[in-house]
Structure 1
């Protein structure tokens, strides 16, 4: 569960050479880096704890006049190359190289200092430049990229700058494999793609999607899935070979989806889900693993807003864990939903719950300070799901970053309900204060700088059963908080802290249990520490695990550990002696059931 908190932050962009035509055209976060491409220049930012401009590349006025403004862009998965297609159909491939300089923590960066150099490697006009075409967005893998064209074709370009040709005549025809001649759609998907009948790219049939332009592409390498959207609202799922986008002839159209008004889509690879934005302002969610069946539809209609207020969906973006997705609209607003259809956050003010009519939008009064008032053009989550970066429609001056926290489970597998409600952000814990009033109050606990500066971001949090102690773990180590005393407890030895890579946290009475990944053995283990002291000398028990656990939980003195696919182990934990700094307690860990 995600929850937005705090005021949105603003990342300022430099002004371009052509202010009248400025509109950010590309936004992407990879490996703690944020790339922003505008019509005349691009900027590379750090998206980690300290948001700093690392580098930029500005085109000259002569280049813009001759080759056109930046129109489409894509970033290679390894972050080393950036491809840009201009409005005059020139391909620019740029190289990103990082210097040895580091970001200064706790101080202002020197003026004019860049930690990354961006240089132009290739500048060449594309072969389809003289065909009066328009281009879709660009998708890529490590070796190749594909752009959709308005003649219904897909064009393949390698990251070396090789023009590999187009998959022509992108008119879709349903091909029957049973020889009956009756068109049929596949009933199931392999890797999430069809295995029964198939839809193929046919050069001889022109009756299904004639004259339809490709307007949007989505690509999932884990699922070997290419999603193609056409200007007439049709959406087609295509399978891709194991070699990725290199083999264009291996791209097979497998299944048509949607209600014929799709405008954008986003794939959740881990959950095998597809979210499709429509002209109606509705987002439809499909289960790719189950014959691409429709799971549910979400919209703001029940909150009193219709498509006349928000416009069509402009973009959809999944969180990294695929448990929620953000939706931006063309005319107004941005909203985040859980995968189950629960609205988690919305920039649009809630006026009423009546779905009979939509409220009148007073742009200069009620919505004066509403974020994304002019619509949302681009969105991207950071790799941890703590920040949602968004671009307002028509904006070139700034990126807006929304902060999100993740909710700790307050009810485990065993059915135990925990008293304390805790939400954790990238560098803080948000503790829900229980009051007699209906007003929700949050206690912000910022983690000590000495810990979080070296171990950003927070990745795991657990509250003790009585709610008086909190445990949090970042990239390395562990930190405890005593709510009564309002004190933090950390490892005294930093070398011990750095050896811990927490993959899960539990409280077993007064003992904190850490699921640790050990680099040296490439294995997992359970570490049992008393809450009064974090040190190797106080370690109560160290228990190796079979492999990476899927779920862990505690009930009284019993510890549940589960592994994939259906391996369940229950252990009985026995503590002998007093758990105090002056005593020497002994912890025994026995298998109860497996």
Structure 2
């Protein structure tokens, strides 16, 4: 047995069976098995654990006896009979005469794990064969065996381990199939969902069975270890937060997997996971690898500001905090989100490690951070920390929660000496007892707190809500003496059997927004000073409900919610893009957007329950918060980076953005709020990914229209006109106000079936008109995308005519790649668009795919002299004439770099052209002028120019164009080419050497002349011999 395991057993001796019968934290299966081995004792045996009792010396221990779990199960998985054996496993006489029906099953097996939840009074027993039994425990506890009652058999009989989350009343069961099943202990232990690595391409053969599960101390996530390979951390909703199993790529669906027989040199837990344990604060996960007990691997984690409990929100500033630092998402100066690592001052952290609470001010420019004691503030603009000057005052504060009330920091402080709680109000400019604005004693330990404008919500157990109005007298400046007073404006005591609240947020009144004129959008300043009368409640079990603070009535909205953000009334800036949203929530269904209803009371109408199905987050991206002025939700995912100097990879949190603008615009258009939608879109026009948002909006609306038609095939799509326009027409009318309209429409067309294009363009406009507008605006690449649509809707003749016009324009602008795509389209269109070719597959937008042909098409050279080409029709002849005319224009002007790009882009037959134009446009007047002119045009100092010259030289050699060969070989200093040419034509050599020597401008080629002279002389000497 390894040294580590012996040490573990020694520690377990001290706590003995009390862990089995009393422990709040469960032993893992492997740890429990080691206790049994050391003590020669198991729950199924009759021997007393004398060795274990002897290990107890410092405190009295009481052994209450062993008992056997002998229970009978019905076919319906309900345990109906349970016999106990307080006398070392002997059956109780009280049940010996019980008559058992023949269909009852007798269950007796070795126990491999016990999991006990004291708050829930539930005991979970896992047997060797994989059965998992839920047992209830009476208030008497575990002192008496008869207080335990088997209630239900859970799962499918392949349980390997289990761990209970008492806070949210969820049981996580690891199976031999490598899957973790989550059960709701509130709802009759029903299955909620399963999580596994199957969707990431890993099966049970790769990972093996689940070996251990460990919940974080705050029950917000759980770690899963597998027997054969890997460790993963999941959120309750099923988001994969971290995984040691290497994944290549960015998408969870498209990323290829890395199997065990590949190079996994730098993968932690490669041999599987045997033990896991979180530290006290949830910042580190300690793990022991299977068959490698010589070391413990520690993984460091950061926590998201979940906006739960007493700590406030981080509405505009997304922050992850670790034990000694803050990770701040930055998005001000760039479209790309980045993470800044901000280390806390060593002077503070050395006394108050670790970080316990973080809250951002409403404008996101100030951060309040609290450790075990004290409080510090950070100014993001000035990049400065503010701390207590008196360390004695700092140590008196034990912060249990933080919030911001404007420019005031609200601290929920625990007073150890009196075991009471209080609220402390400090101005952000000074942390000192002399600047304390107010000290408010609290009745008890608050469960949740929230702040909105001048109102403060405090909730105590079991469910007592107190709302205070905060009044500040005087200016909040260092030179003045402001006074802050709290007055109670509302108290509610709510009786309910539901789970206790985990978070509560005020909901500002949105009534006035429905009554403003259509030329304006109201701002939260219109509601300033008005007391909120509603709040959202997120309970510990994930239930989201709306509480009316006037009468205490609660309306359940949805369940399985992990996070939520109240968006209405949170920003006074005119550029706030999500003011039309009431709130957003996140759970296993993904992100959900909630909108106010059209009724007089926006919270009591049925249509208030509107969810947006189009907002999805990748299951590897965990949402952190909102950027209201950008209309995006910011999330974070794990990425791995590898280094040769370290054994293990670095796990890097990477921020990602998900726009919700298209959801908001569609919502406004559905309610016929066209002007509001236009204003919202105009505010967003300069935001990143605006064009993508418009495209996604039109695509989702068009897809919905297609689905509607498919549902009723007998209904023919007829565009509506007038005031009763269809949503598709409203969407097109909105996007027409922006220059992105033409790109958006054709991009959506490319993403949909060509059979539905007529429906799209009946609302968006005729394809030829859209093409013509793009052509006149010189948006040639966008215009090219319409060619295929025109061919489908208007016929091949019209599309060929448009393509020929566009080809000439593209050549004039030197857009040779685009010209090449147009050439290939024109040369193929005669075959692709025969009158009989009406199959939708032939006319699919995948045919050209944005006019980017496969590489095989690009390499294909269209021989203008081939038999098929000689059968020239009008448009093919036009293509040839246009290409030859442009080639002559470039050759006459000696625009050789453009000529090379032209030939490569269009696959123009340069050899045939040179043979025909040897004495025409390709002719050089004389060597000297040609060398000087071409040297100036090609600029041989760059690599690309030299490559172009090599390309031309190869073609000139193929047609034996001596004038060009001499010039290009000289510029490239290709002495072997020149030598091969001159050795057969000494007159040409003499003319060449005389020309170079007689022109001072060609002095740079003197070394080339000498080398050639030496080679030619050596050749002549050999011939004379």
Tell whether the structures are fold-level matches, with TM greater than 0.5: yes
Instruction: Report if aligned partners of 1:136, 1:147 keep a CA contact under 8 Å in 2.
Output: no
Map of 1:577 onto structure 2? 474
Instruction: Report if aligned partners of 2:246, 2:258 keep a CA contact under 8 Å in 1.
Output: no
1:247 positional shift: 3.1
Map of 2:363 onto structure 1? 466
Match of 2:266 among 365, 369, 372: 369
Flag the 1:250–1:416 CA change in 2: closer, same or farther, 3 A.
closer
Cα distance in 2 for residues equivalent to 1:462 and 1:413: 10
Cα distance in 1 for residues equivalent to 2:454 and 2:273: 51
Instruction: Report if aligned partners of 1:199, 1:253 keep a CA contact under 8 Å in 2.
Output: yes
Q: Deviations over 1:314-338 (max 9, x none)?
A: 0000111112111000111111111
Match of 2:192 among 275, 295, 300: 295
Question: How do 1:225-264 residues align onto structure 2 when only pairs under 5 Å count?
Answer: 225-240=122-137, 242=139, 244-264=141-161
Matched, 1:506 2:403: yes
Map of 1:216 onto structure 2? 113
Map of 1:173 onto structure 2? 72
Map of 1:33 onto structure 2? none
Matched, 1:478 2:444: no
Cα distance in 1 for residues equivalent to 2:46 and 2:127: 10
Map of 2:299 onto structure 1? 402
Cα distance in 2 for residues equivalent to 1:277 and 1:237: 15
Map of 2:4 onto structure 1? 38
What number of residue pairs does the alignment pair up? 454
Runs of at least 5 residues in structure 2 that lack an aligned partner in the other structure: 18-30, 56-61, 86-90, 492-1025
**Cα RMSD for the two superposed structures:** 3.5
Cα distance in 2 for residues equivalent to 1:351 and 1:463: 35
Q: Deviations over 1:352-388 (max 9, x none)?
A: 76879984515452x2211111111100111111111
Cα distance in 2 for residues equivalent to 1:577 and 1:469: 22
1:405 positional shift: 1.3
Flag the 1:478–1:229 CA change in 2: closer, same or farther, 3 A.
same
Map of 1:381 onto structure 2? 278
Map of 2:435 onto structure 1? 538
Map of 1:489 onto structure 2? 386
Match of 2:460 among 563, 566, 577: 563
Flag the 1:232–1:416 CA change in 2: closer, same or farther, 3 A.
closer
Match of 1:338 among 211, 235, 251: 235
Map of 2:172 onto structure 1? 275
Cα distance in 2 for residues equivalent to 1:274 and 1:510: 43
Instruction: Report if aligned partners of 1:156, 1:165 keep a CA contact under 8 Å in 2.
Output: no
Q: What SS is found at the alignment partner of 1:562?
A: strand
Match of 1:392 among 289, 299, 304: 289
Flag the 1:231–1:540 CA change in 2: closer, same or farther, 3 A.
same
Flag the 1:40–1:550 CA change in 2: closer, same or farther, 3 A.
closer
1:471 positional shift: 0.6
Question: How do 1:518-537 residues align onto structure 2 when only pairs under 5 Å count?
Answer: 518-537=415-434
Question: How do 1:69-218 residues align onto structure 2 when only pairs under 5 Å count?
Answer: 75=12, 81=14, 83=16, 136=33, 148-149=42-43, 159=53, 166-168=66-68, 170-174=69-73, 185=78, 199-200=82-83, 203=91, 208=105, 212-218=109-115
Runs of at least 5 residues in structure 1 that lack an aligned partner in the other structure: 1-20, 23-36, 43-71, 85-133, 140-144, 176-181, 187-196
Cα distance in 2 for residues equivalent to 1:386 and 1:440: 24
Higher Cα Rg, which structure = 2
Cα distance in 2 for residues equivalent to 1:284 and 1:329: 14
Cα distance in 2 for residues equivalent to 1:415 and 1:522: 23
- What is the TM-score when the length of structure 2 is the normalising length? 0.41
Cα distance in 2 for residues equivalent to 1:338 and 1:578: 45
Cα distance in 2 for residues equivalent to 1:411 and 1:232: 40
1:41 positional shift: 4.0
Map of 2:338 onto structure 1? 441
Q: Deviations over 1:116-152 (max 9, x none)?
A: xxxxxxxxxxxxxxxxxx973659xxxxx99645x58
Flag the 1:231–1:410 CA change in 2: closer, same or farther, 3 A.
closer
Q: What SS is found at the alignment partner of 1:167?
A: coil
Match of 2:450 among 553, 561, 573: 553
1:515 positional shift: 0.9
Cα distance in 1 for residues equivalent to 2:120 and 2:47: 20
Cα distance in 2 for residues equivalent to 1:263 and 1:347: 21
1:410 positional shift: 6.5
Q: What SS is found at the alignment partner of 1:38?
A: helix
Map of 1:428 onto structure 2? 325
1:574 positional shift: 2.0
- What is the TM-score when the length of structure 1 is the normalising length? 0.69
1:199 positional shift: 4.5
1:567 positional shift: 2.1
- Greater RCO between the two (CA within 8 Å, min separation 6)? 1
Q: What SS is found at the alignment partner of 2:186?
A: coil
Cα distance in 2 for residues equivalent to 1:388 and 1:135: 20
1:591 positional shift: 2.3
Matched, 1:284 2:177: no
Cα distance in 2 for residues equivalent to 1:220 and 1:357: 39
User: Which range moves more in the overlay, 344-353 or 526-535?
Assistant: 344-353
Flag the 1:318–1:417 CA change in 2: closer, same or farther, 3 A.
closer
Instruction: Report if aligned partners of 1:213, 1:230 keep a CA contact under 8 Å in 2.
Output: yes
Q: What SS is found at the alignment partner of 2:401?
A: strand
Instruction: Report if aligned partners of 2:110, 2:127 keep a CA contact under 8 Å in 1.
Output: yes
Q: What SS is found at the alignment partner of 2:347?
A: helix
Q: Deviations over 1:53-110 (max 9, x none)?
A: xxxxxxxxxxxxxxxxxxx56648xxxx2559xxxxxxxxxxxxxxxxxxxxxxxxxx
Instruction: Report if aligned partners of 2:356, 2:370 keep a CA contact under 8 Å in 1.
Output: yes
Flag the 1:360–1:556 CA change in 2: closer, same or farther, 3 A.
closer
Instruction: Report if aligned partners of 2:310, 2:412 keep a CA contact under 8 Å in 1.
Output: no
User: Which range moves more in the overlay, 536-545 or 403-412?
Assistant: 403-412
Q: What SS is found at the alignment partner of 1:223?
A: coil
Cα distance in 2 for residues equivalent to 1:369 and 1:286: 35
1:577 positional shift: 2.0
Cα distance in 2 for residues equivalent to 1:156 and 1:232: 25
Flag the 1:360–1:510 CA change in 2: closer, same or farther, 3 A.
closer
Cα distance in 2 for residues equivalent to 1:387 and 1:198: 43
Q: Deviations over 1:434-472 (max 9, x none)?
A: 267776532222222221121122111101111111111
Give the structure with the higher percent helix.
2
Instruction: Report if aligned partners of 1:303, 1:351 keep a CA contact under 8 Å in 2.
Output: no
